[in-house]
Amino acid sequence: MAADLTVTIAGVTLKNPVMSASGTFGNGREYEDLIDLTRLGALVTKGVSAVPWEGNPTPRIAETPAGMLNAIGLQNPGIDVFIEREMPFLAALRGKGTRIIVNVCGHSVEEYLTVIDRLRDQPVDLLEINVSCPNVREGAIAFGQDPVMLKEVTEACKEHAAQPIIMKLTPNVTDIRVLARAAEEGGADAISLINTLTGMKIDVEKRRFLLANRTGGLSGPAIHPVAVRMVYEASHAVSIPVIGMGGIASGTDAVEMMLAGAAAVAVGTMTFHEPGAMVRIIDEIAAYAERHGIRQIRELTGAVQG
Amino acid sequence: MNESKDRRIREATARVIRQEELTEGICSLVLETGLADDAQPGQFVNLYCTDGARLLPRPISICDASEGTLRLVYRVVGGGTGELSALAAGDTVRMTGCLGNGYDLTAAAGKRVIAVGGGLGIPPMLFLMRLLEADRSAGGPASLTAVLGYRDLRTVFLRDDFDRFGSVVTASDDGSVGYHGTVVDAIREEKLACDVLYACGPMPMLRALARFAEEQRQTGKDIKCYVSLEERMACGIGACLGCVTRTAAVDEHSRVHNARICVEGPVFEVSEIAWD
C-alpha cells in the first residue's frame, strides 16, 4: 500500500510535504510548461510588497560551487498587480488541490499589514512572512535578527491575517532558537527556515564584486548541512511546525530535513538546475516510504534517533 | 520587446551530432533535438551541466536551426562551458528551450537591413541572415549586409559562412581583418545605407549602435535598431528576476523600469532601453 504523504501545517493539509521555495519559482505560471504544478503539496509565491519594488542593480546572480548567490532585492510588481494578474491562475491551481502560500515582504510593519489585509479575502491557504531577506536594506532582515522586533512584527501580522502565518527566518543569526521562540511567542502558526546565508564573491581577474549589491544570499546544496542543523535546533525550541529548506536536491535530502524536525520541505535552487526537481523529489520520498514500510510520512518529522 | 504569443518551453535531452573547435576557445556544437523546430533567430537555449557543483544552466544563443538540428557556437570561458566542449558525437546533453523573444524579422520587409555581430554576438546573426535571405523574393529585406567585428585575425570564426546570405563587411580592433576599428566605424566609413539594424555583441558595441541609431533618427531618418542583451541568469524562463535590464518606460510585467532579458528580451529595440 502506498504511503500517506499528507502533512498538516496549522490546520492546512498538503497532499505531500513538498513546496516551492519563495523567489525561485516565480508565481508558478512561469514553470507551467516544464512541471505538473498539480503534483506539488503547495506553491509558495515570489515575495509580494505593498507597492512595486525595483529590486537591486545587476548583476544579481553568481554561481558558486554547488550553489549560487543572489541579490534580486525582492523585485515585484506589488500586491494590486499580484491579485489581478497572478491570483486567478493560483486560484485555479488551488482548485486542483495544490495549496497556495503567498510570501509577504515589507520595509515596515505597515507595509506587511497592507499586503496581509489585501489578501484577507483571497483564495490563499497560508501566508509566509519574509523577515529574512538579506538583500534589502530596510526592514526585512532587520525584523528577523532581533527577537524583540520579530515578536512584535509577528503579533501585528497575526492580528491582521485571515490565514495562518508562517514566519520565514534567517540563518544569519547567532542562535536560531532565540528567534524561533520569538516567532512562536508572537503567535506564529509555523516557521520556515532557512532563508539564504549572506555571502560574497569577487572576480579576482577584474578585482570586482560579482554582484552589484556586493553581498548576496547563498543557496543550493552547499548550504544543506547548515539548514539541517538549524531546522533541528529550531524544531526542538518550539512546538509549532517547521518548514525546512536549504539546498534540498533529492528525496534523501527531504527525508533528512524531516528527520531533523521539519513537518514539510521547500525546494528552491535545485529547480534552476532541473525544472522538474520537485516532482522527482516527491516520487523519491514516496519510494523511500515504501522501502522503509512507512505508512504515514508525517511519522518522519523529528524521528532522527540518538 | 514582445513576449512571443505561442511561447512554449520544453525540456529535452539532445544528442550530439558533432562538435568542433572553430578557432581557439570557440566551439561549434551540433545537436539533434526537437527543440530546433520552433527556434527563432535571437533566441537561446539553456544547457545543463552534469557536474553537480555547477547548478545553473548555461544560456547559449542559437547559431542556426533546421528541422531537428540545432547549432550552437559558444566560447569556452570556464568549467561549465569546458564541460560542454568535451561533448562528442553520440553524447547527450539536457537542455530547455527555446527561450527569449528573438528578433522581429517582420520589421525587415522591404527595408535595407544590416546584421551586426561582434565577437560571440556573431553566431545568432548567421541564423538571422539565412532566414532573411530566404525571404528576399517573398517580401523580405530590400538589401542585406552583415557587419562582423572581431578582435583580430586569430579570433576570426564563421566569417565564410556569411557569404552565401549577403555582402559581408568585417572590422577588427587591430586592423588585421577588414576595417581597423569598430563595427560602427565600418558602417560609417562604408556609408552603409540601412533602415533596420539587427545586432548582437558586447555592451560597448550595442551602446555605440544605439547612439548611431539615435543620430540617424535626429536627422529625420526612420531607423529601427534591435539589440540582443546579455546578463547573468538563473532560471532563463522569467521566474527568478535575475537578468533584468533597465527600461526607458515602466515595464508591463514588472511595473518598474526593469524588463526580464530572458522573456521580454533578449532582443529589444534600442529606444526601449535606458542606456545611461
Q: Kindly give the parts of chain B with pLDDT less than 70.
A: 1-7
pLDDT at position B276: 81
Contact indicator for A247, A227 with CB cutoff of 8 Å: yes
**CA neighbor of A272 nearest in space, from A25, A102, A19:** A25
Exposure string of B231-257, with b = 16+ CB inside 10 Å and e = fewer, is bbbbbbbbbbbbbbbbbeeebebbbbb
What are the DSSP calls for A132-161, one per residue? --TT-SSSTHHHHH-HHHHHHHHHHHHHH-
* A157 labelled catalytic: no
The rounded distance, in Å, linking the Cα atoms of A112 and A140 is: 10
The CB density around residue A41, as the number of other CB atoms within 10 Å, is 25
Within 8 A of A25 by CB-CB distance, chain B residues are: 239
Rounded to a whole number, what is the distance in Å from the CA of B246 to chain A's nearest CA?
9
Contact indicator for A41, A64 with CB cutoff of 8 Å: no
**CA neighbor of A55 nearest in space, from A213, A282, A172:** A213
Rounded to a whole number, what is the distance in Å from the CA of B94 to chain A's nearest CA?
9
The catalytic position among A71, A90, A104, A133 is A133
Tell me the residue type at A198: T
Is B253 part of the contact surface with chain A (CB cutoff 8 Å)?
yes
Within 8 A of B99 by CB-CB distance, chain A residues are: none
Cell numbers for A259: 528527520
Which residues on chain A place their C-beta less than 8 Å from a C-beta of chain B?
23-26, 30-31, 33-34, 46, 52-55, 58-63, 65-68, 70, 72, 75, 77-78, 81, 220-221, 249, 269-276
What are the DSSP calls for B20-65, one per residue? EEEETTEEEEEEE-GGGGG--TT-EEEE--SSTT--S-EEEEEEEE
pLDDT at position B5: 47
Is B46 part of the contact surface with chain A (CB cutoff 8 Å)?
no
Q: Kindly give the parts of chain A with pLDDT less than 50.
A: none
Contact indicator for A285, A17 with CB cutoff of 8 Å: yes
Rounded to a whole number, what is the distance in Å from the CA of A29 to chain B's nearest CA?
9
Cell numbers for A268: 528552491
pLDDT at position B234: 97
Exposure string of B23-62, with b = 16+ CB inside 10 Å and e = fewer, is eeebbbbbbebebbebbbbbbbbbbbbeeeebbbbbbbbb
CB contact under 8 A, A34 and B10: yes
Helix, strand, coil percent values for chain B (each to nearest 5): 25, 35, 40
The rounded distance, in Å, linking the Cα atoms of B115 and B143 is: 11
The rounded distance, in Å, linking the Cα atoms of A266 and A246 is: 8
pLDDT at position B161: 96
The rounded distance, in Å, linking the Cα atoms of B257 and B135 is: 36
Q: Spell out the residues 6+ positions from residue B33 whose beta carbon is closer than 8 angstroms to its own.
A: B12, B14, B15, B68, B69, B70, B95
- The SS3 assignment for B273 reads strand
The rounded distance, in Å, linking the Cα atoms of A277 and A216 is: 24
Which residue segments constitute the domains of chain A, with CATH numbers given?
7-300 (3.20.20.70)
B189 CA to centre of own chain:
24
H/E stretch holding A8: strand A7-9
CB contact under 8 A, B256 and A77: yes
The rounded distance, in Å, linking the Cα atoms of A22 and A128 is: 9
- Location of C-alpha cell 545587476: A58
The rounded distance, in Å, linking the Cα atoms of A239 and A183 is: 11
pLDDT at position A142: 77
Is B190 part of the contact surface with chain A (CB cutoff 8 Å)?
no
Helices in A119-237 by DSSP H: which ranges? 141-145, 147-160, 176-185, 224-237
Cell numbers for B103: 528578433
The rounded distance, in Å, linking the Cα atoms of B31 and B50 is: 17
Q: B66 has which bridge partners?
A: B69
Q: A141 has which bridge partners?
A: none
The rounded distance, in Å, linking the Cα atoms of B186 and A7 is: 66
Strand-pair category, A165-168 with A126-130: parallel
pLDDT at position A134: 67
The CB density around residue A181, as the number of other CB atoms within 10 Å, is 18
